[in-house]
Amino acid sequence: MKLVRDKAMRIDEAKVSLAGESSTGTALFTQERRQQIAHLLIEQQRVTVPELSQLFSVSEVTIRKDLAWLESHKLAVRTHGGAVLATPNTSEMGFDVRERILHDEKERIGEVAASYVQNGETIALDASTTGLAMAGYLKDKRELTVVTNGLRTGMSLINTPGISVLIPGGMLRQEAFSLVGNWGKSVLQQIHISKAFVGAWGLSYPEGLTDVNGEEVELKRALVETAREVIALVDHSKWGLVAFATFCQLESLKLIITDEKAPPAMVEQIRRKGIEVRIV
């Protein structure tokens, strides 16, 4: 499995995603562009201002502002003419940063995902930011049990009438506000989950759903193995990316919920495999 895509391939893919869009510098919203720059930093370790300016069809002044924002969030260190990845030993953004990126898309995905939940079910939500968005739309459910390793997700549902929250326990990962480890996995092996709703760092074929952290991967695998149905919650920025390890094969998915900017060719490829893709 390749962790880092070839630089030219990634730039070509990004250009394809912008094809047909405005050439006035408004092809991407600011948050989306910054997330894509962060992904490029993760893959390449460094970027240049001219390269990014050409890639995203915006001015070099705009790119410098983007890099300053990434530096302020400890994702990049600016250099003469560009930036390097702030922490080369990790490719994971902090939860609070990820929560703000593509917020509207995550809210739409979360709202639609909640419509698949029935009263009386036991469901699982991982510690993803899209899972947290989904939790906000569960508060009218009754006799619902939510199993989650996400502290933010669990806390958002506490004191909600009709909803019981089970947090399996484990070691705290500050980057994701999640609990991981064998303790949580052992708890998951003893319960029955009707549906697991999971986010991912990347969605690709044939690798499936992947994540950057090994401990998170192990916990997500346990969620997937325990659930009767698995539903992926992935915005368009995750399509075509491959991270450290796979936690769910595509064949194990019942449904993928994504937004309207998901790449049509990949969506069709996955649909041909018999997997439902719902675009919201």
Contact status, residue 231 vs residue 197, Cβ threshold 8 Å: yes
C-alpha 237, offset from chain centre:
8
d(C-alpha 118, C-alpha 232), whole Å: 17
Q: CB under 8 Å to 65, separation ≥6 — which residues?
A: none
When comparing pLDDT for 105 and 73, which is higher?
105
| pLDDT higher than 60, residue 11 | no
Angle at 228 between CA 222 and CA 230, to 5 degrees: 70
Alpha-carbon torsion angle 208, 179, 111, 203, nearest 10? -10
Q: Choose which CATH entry (3.40.50.1360, 3.40.50.850, 3.30.750.24, 3.30.365.10) describes domain 97-279.
A: 3.40.50.1360
Weakest-pLDDT range from 80-84, 147-151, 235-239, 264-268: 80-84
**Mean per-residue pLDDT for 58-67?**
94
Per residue in 216-229, pLDDT tens?
999 999 999 999 99
Among 101, 80, 193, 100, which residue's Cα sits nearest to residue 145? 193
Nearest partner of 258 among 202, 211, 216, judged by Cα: 202
pLDDT per residue over 106-144, tens digit each? 999 999 999 999 999 999 999 999 999 999 999 999 999
Tokens of 251: 């064949």
Average pLDDT over residues 155-160: 94
Q: Which CATH number fits domain 7-90: 2.30.30.100, 3.40.30.10, 1.10.10.10, 1.20.120.1200?
A: 1.10.10.10
* DSSP at 179: E
Who has greater pLDDT, 54 or 41? 54
Q: Point out which residues pair with 231 in neighbouring strands.
A: 197, 255
Query: CA 237, CA 69: separation in Å to the nearest integer?
Result: 19
Spatial separation of the C-alpha atoms in residues 142 and 38, rounded to whole Å: 40
Q: Compute the mean pLDDT over every residue in the chain, rounded to the nearest whole number.
A: 86
Return contacts of 20-24, CB within 8 angstroms, 24+ apart. 21/57, 22/57, 23/57, 24/57
pLDDT given for residue 30 in this prediction: 87
**Residue 16 pLDDT > 50, yes or no?**
no
pTM here is 0.71
**CATH 1.10.10.10 domain position(s) in the chain:** 7-90
Whole-angstrom Cα distance, residue 261 to residue 279?
9
pLDDT at 92 over 70: no
Q: What φ, ψ does residue 193 adopt, rounded to 5°?
A: -115, 130
